[in-house]
Structure 1
């Protein structure tokens, strides 16, 4: 018989890196899985990294994933195709492929993929909410699992949710400098560094920046698709964000509530974009508490259970 573990419990974590979960047009997609040791059938959190839909990888915030896993969740940090390799909706297709893997081969790791949440930061937060608003993902070979039908909650760190010109009225904090980490990022050849938000959005859609319209941008805006979001949402944003205005999260939460949805908003006072404040024990504990509320508590297995999964078994 399993026994629920208290909220203050901390688990040891087993890392299972570099697992292939899909291939599209010669692009191999991999994920890193962080497993809480001693937890029976853990709920799963699928993490999406940031990087303007163009750069970054599943390894960008490994410590962030591990810290949540210590609260008893299995965290799958995935790669998705960058906009330089494939335009939208490729990124949502990749989320669907990851869910398909979690519900298939991923079961060998003892996961409870019926208790699944999405979590993302920056561009990944945008994709997490957009996926939560996507009821179907058609594909030539077969239909991939619908993110909207398979997730129970979603969490967004400092995301941009209204990509239209209306969202551009939400001005970032001009008094906070752009974090050095972001200024020093390496962008693909030919990309202006740092690229404008409009440039990044055009590349995501696969269109020329000069032809980009609000109609185009609405198709990739979670704000415009908020009526399709049926799961509880938790948005966290710094009040001094110099990249994406905190108003993006405020307006998104307000819109979800207006439509009758469940939306929680936590503002980190003085925090900038990708601030260290998002990786503190206190912030991760807030995320864990929200997920536990909507995915259910985790349990320890009997002492006779095998706690550590051997890759390849």
Structure 2
């Protein structure tokens, strides 16, 4: 006769449970093509803990033509498990928006989080912004335009949109040099008026009538132009095998930050491309968490 015995497991209960809140409307701006409001939403991952949490606003990439808030779930979940409330957002893209609409949306999301700090249990003065590719560009622009109230439009204007730290992953910096390190053929493609960055700056004809020539718009949209004493610390990372955004874009922004005396760290990740599995490895996640722990925890 056999006897069934229970196996007793002793578990070190260290990992926090994470709750998900989806499709929260944070802003309803007017679209450029339809003149109707766009219902912009965010998703929130929140550790189940009994304290106010530092927050990370995640901005997805998408070449200025899409903004899927569901992107980068492994990175976002890892940050939530590390003790951060993580809000990921969608924002206006071509053709419903052009510069600076996406930046306005990011700042609206920051003000929304601060206005609802009690509801969601976050610490309103401990907020970082993180993004990849086009999202990295918007994260950088958000950081360098700290205290630039001209980009604060919409609701919750009693709140400020300042943030405390920036993580920029293989982001664009100067929209005129996205392909600087690449072939002449690739560079010419980016010089086209039909390139996604040109449409992001100028909008879609005939609905949008450009007010400035492209060179002026490139300068106006450059995060480095806005660097000031109010710019928060930066973490910048780029893969040396990136064939979408030139690695020199990260070097350009990093050099501008350091020249202005802003705290900044830069890592070039060997063999990493534009996105992909390198960016979810434990070594990379640890760099994110260590940076956030230093600056907003």
TM bucket by the smaller chain? 0.7 to 0.9
Q: Distance in 2 between matches of 1:275 and 1:30?
A: 25
Q: With the length of structure 2 as denominator, give the TM-score of the two structures.
A: 0.81
Selected match of 2:200 from 196, 200, 204: 204
1:172-187 → structure 2 map (5 Å cutoff): 172=182
Q: With the length of structure 1 as denominator, give the TM-score of the two structures.
A: 0.77
**Which residue matches 2:246?**
245
The offset of 1:63, in angstroms, is: 2.4
Change (3 A) 1:168 1:125: closer
Q: Distance in 2 between matches of 1:203 and 1:48?
A: 19
Q: Quick check: 1:139 aligned with 2:153?
A: yes
Larger mean CA deviation between 38-47 and 132-141 belongs to 132-141
Q: Secondary structure at the match of 1:15?
A: strand
Structure 2: 5+ residue stretches without partners: 1-13, 31-36
The offset of 1:229, in angstroms, is: 5.6
Selected match of 2:132 from 98, 121, 131: 121
List structure 1 runs of 4+ shifted beyond 4 angstroms: 195-198, 207-212
Q: Distance in 2 between matches of 1:94 and 1:107?
A: 22
Q: Secondary structure at the match of 1:217?
A: helix
Q: Distance in 1 between matches of 2:201 and 2:119?
A: 36
Q: Compute the RMSD of aligned alpha carbons.
A: 2.4
**Contact 1:97 1:145 (C-alpha < 8 Å) held by counterparts:** no
Structure 1: 5+ residue stretches without partners: 1-8, 179-194, 297-313
Q: Deviation digits for residues 78-113 of structure 1, max 9, x if unmatched?
A: 111112102122111111211121112342121112
**Contact 2:171 2:250 (C-alpha < 8 Å) held by counterparts:** yes
Q: Deviation digits for residues 159-203 of structure 1, max 9, x if unmatched?
A: 011123xx357314x7xxx9xxxxxxxxxxxxxxxx847511221
Q: Quick check: 1:33 aligned with 2:44?
A: yes
The offset of 1:225, in angstroms, is: 2.5
Change (3 A) 1:72 1:39: farther
Change (3 A) 1:95 1:144: farther
Larger mean CA deviation between 205-214 and 116-125 belongs to 205-214
**Which residue matches 1:232?**
233
**Contact 2:44 2:85 (C-alpha < 8 Å) held by counterparts:** yes
Kindly indicate whether structure 1 or structure 2 has the higher relative contact order, using CA contacts under 8 Å at least 6 residues apart: 1
Q: Quick check: 1:161 aligned with 2:161?
A: no
Change (3 A) 1:197 1:91: farther
Selected match of 1:71 from 59, 82, 88: 82
Q: Distance in 2 between matches of 1:155 and 1:201?
A: 21
